[in-house]
Amino acid sequence: MKSFDWNQETEKKWNENADFWHENSENMWLKGSRSTIIPFICKRLPEGSKVLDAGCGDGFGSYLLAENSYKVTGIDIAEKMISHAKDKRNHSNLTFHKADLSRLPFEKGHFDAIMAINSIEWVEQPLDVLKEFHKVTKEKGILFLGLLGPTAGPRANSFPRLYGDKAICNTMMPWEFEQLAGENGWELIDGMPVYKEEAKRVDVSGFPRHLKQALSFMWVFMLQKK
């Protein structure tokens, strides 16, 4: 029986999806579910900061950070994603590399901040990745992490686990990630919801944070290295 390698399967999937992702990523970052992320970061992170875009896809989010005067390194596990990024996202503040989030090829304290949007869902051991993020950020470094919320389903990529089969997408909830991060070297500073249109019609102003997270399509955390 062929052994299952999570990273190999993830790389295979995103190489296969790279062209489709590339066709849609600009709209997603400019008008869609990711459109509020770069403004959120820019209001909270000084210009000139050295930023790792961890799971950069075709690099458009990295490019937007570079356009806002950040020095950006984008990494992704899928070679085809990195190929798209290198071909299309040219900027003096920007470089791209193929790399695995659980084994980051950078020195300790190399980055001021990390942006990781919908990437930790695709790793086998999220805790290992959090530790890597902690290692490569400076003292009091910042992690901006976007995690899919409960309304971002159905998550077909994780469904096979219910049959005892291997899957390459985890279904960690925002409140679970928040606790995991808090117990492993990160302090919650701020956060931002991304809601589907139906949820936007609900007045959540009086809801506790975890109930707001329960309605979210994605929750963007701002965490600081302890």
Question: pLDDT tens, 71-129?
Answer: 999 999 999 999 999 999 999 999 999 999 999 999 999 999 999 999 999 999 999 99
CA triple 40-74-188, angle to 5 deg: 40
Mean pLDDT of 139-153: 95
Q: How far apart are CA 217 and CA 33, in angstroms?
A: 8
Across the chain, how many H-helices and E-strands are there?
8, 7
Whether the model pTM is above 0.75: yes
| pLDDT score of 2 | 63
What is the dotted CATH code of the domain comprising 6-225?
Answer: 3.40.50.150
Question: pLDDT tens, 198-226?
Answer: 999 999 999 999 999 999 999 999 999 99
| pLDDT score of 154 | 65
- Rounded to 5 degrees, φ, ψ at 63 are -60, -40
Domain edges within the chain: 6-225
103 alpha carbon, distance to own chain's centre: 16
Mean pLDDT of 135-158: 92
Count the neighbouring beta carbons within 10 Å of the beta carbon of residue 139: 8
Q: Are β-strands 186-194 and 218-225 bridged in parallel, bridged antiparallel, or unpaired?
A: antiparallel
Lowest-pLDDT range of 52-61, 144-153, 156-165: 156-165
